[in-house]
Amino acid sequence: MKPIIAISIGDINGIGPEIVIKTLADQRILDLCIPVIYASSKVIAYHKNIVKPEKFDFQSIRDLENPRTDRINVVNVWTEDINIELGTGSEDSGKFAYISLDRATQDVKEGLADALVTAPFNKHIMDSAGFPYAGHTEYLEAQCQEPSLMFMVSDDLRIGVATNHIPVAEVAPTLTKALVLKKTKIMLKSLSQDFGIAKPRIAILGLNPHAGDQGTIGGEEDELIRPVVSELSRKGHLVTGPHAADGFFGVGNQNKVDGILAMYHDQGLIPFKTLSFGRGVNYTAGLPIVRTSPDHGTGFNIAGRNLAEPDSFRQALFMAIDVVRSRSEYVQAEDKLARETLVEDTGEDESIEQITEQVE
C-alpha cells in the first residue's frame, strides 16, 4: 500500500509552495505515495498560477478519512483570505506556517499519515508569530517527547550534529559525555532501522582545532569524546574518533564511513552543503515518526520568480518514502528474529502478541 505523506507548506511568501508544486507535478510521484499538502486551496492555486505546471490536479479535503490516491490532496487548515507578499516574511505567513506544521504533525503522530515532509520557514518570522522553538527539530522533539538527531543526508554523505541551533559560545558548555553518547546511539540505530545498514561505521569529530592536539588546545576530546568511543567500541560498535574535522574531510575520510557526528551546527553543515547542496535532506532521526525536509531555507530573494529548484525537496520526499519502507522491514525482521529465538529456546512457535505479553 502506498504511504500517505503529510507535507507542511512552510512560509507561503517563500519558495516552499513552489518547490512542493514542482515536485508533485511529476505524475509518477502518485505511483509511489499519496501526497497531502496542509495549506489552503486558494494559496496552492495562487502559486500554481505562478509555476504553471503542465499537470497538477489537486483535491480539497477536510481530513484524511478518504484521501484521493490518484491526485494531490490539499487539507484546508485555514479558511481566512490571506494577503500573499512574496519575498517578505510576515507575522501572518509565520502563523499559517505554524498552523500547517502543527496539523500535519498531529496527523502523523496519530497514524493517519506515514511521514512528514516540511517545506522551509524562517526562524525569525516564526518567532514573531509566537512559535516557541528554535526550529522544526526542537518542535518535533517537544511534540514526540523523544530526543532526536539533526541528520543531514545525501546519497553519499550523512552528518549529524550533537548540538542544534544554539550560539557558538554555548556549544562547549552544552556538550557532555552523556549528550555525545546519546546522539551517537541515535545515529547507530537510525543507520540500522532507517537506512538498512547492518553494521554502521561512525566517525566522531573533535570539538577543538586538531581534535585538541593531545589536550593543548582544549580538553573536551579526552573528557567527553574518547570515553564514548571506548565504551561503544567495547560493545562491538564501529565507532572512531575524535577526528580533526579539517583533516578528516580534507583527505576524503567521509567516504569511508556511514555516518559522521559533528559537535556543532556549522562544523557539520558547512562540509555537508559544500559537498551536497541541492541534493541533501535534513532528516530528524530518533523520533517515532518519520520527518524529512530540504536542506535550504525560504529563498525569499527568488520567491515568486519561478526560479526555485525542487531537487532537495524531491529528495526529501523520496527519502521519507524509503525510510517508511525501511522501518517496516526492520520491524518485520526484528519480529522474525524474536520468534525464531523463542522457538529455539522453548520449541514453541508463539505469536508476537504472546511474546510481548511474556516480556511485559
Question: What is the bridge-based pairing of β-strands 201-205 and 158-161?
Answer: unpaired
Do 180 and 203 fall into the same domain? yes
**C-alpha 32: how far from chain center:** 19
Q: Which residue has the cell 481530513?
A: 63
| CA distances, 65 to each of 115, 135, 188, 254, 339 (Å) | 16, 30, 36, 44, 34
Q: pTM score, two decimals?
A: 0.89
Which residue, 260, 279, 298, sits at the end of a domain?
Answer: 279
**Quick one: 186 and 130 in the same domain?**
no
Q: Which of 232, 258, 279 is the last residue of a domain?
A: 279
Identify whether residues 114 and 210 lie together within a single domain.
no
Task: Please name which of 82, 73, 75 lies closest in space to residue 105, comparing C-alpha atoms.
Answer: 75
Q: How many residues does the chain have?
A: 360
β partners of residue 230: none
20 and 92 co-located in one domain = yes
Q: Is there a single domain that holds both residue 142 and residue 155?
A: no
Are 198 and 274 members of one domain?
yes
Residue 303 and residue 345 in one domain = yes
Residues 6+ apart with CB under 8 A from 228: 177, 180, 181, 184, 204, 239
Q: Identify the domain containing residue 202 by its residue range.
A: 151-279
Helix (H) or strand (E) holding 16: helix 16-24
CA pair distance 320, 315, nearest whole angstrom: 9
Residue 246 CA to its chain's centroid (Å): 26
What amino acid is encoded at 58 in this protein? F
Read off the CATH number of the domain in which 92 is found.
3.40.718.10
Same domain, 134 and 171: no
Helix extents (H) in 194-244 = 220, 226-234
Same domain flag for 44 and 114: yes
Q: Per the structure, how many domains does the chain have?
A: 2
Is residue 326 a contact partner of residue 192, using CB atoms and an 8 Å limit?
no
The answer to whether residues 205 and 259 belong to one domain is yes
Would the CA dihedral through 78, 84, 88, 91 be positive or negative?
A: negative
Q: Choose one of 231, 248, 279: the last residue of a domain.
A: 279
Query: Same structural domain for residues 254 and 329?
Result: no
User: Are the C-beta atoms of 72 and 37 separated by less than 8 Å?
Assistant: yes
Give pLDDT < 70 ranges for the chain.
335, 337-360
The predicted pLDDT at position 216 comes to 86
For position 352, what pLDDT does the model report? 42
Asked if 53 and 119 sit in the same domain, the reply is: yes
What pLDDT is attached to residue 338?
66
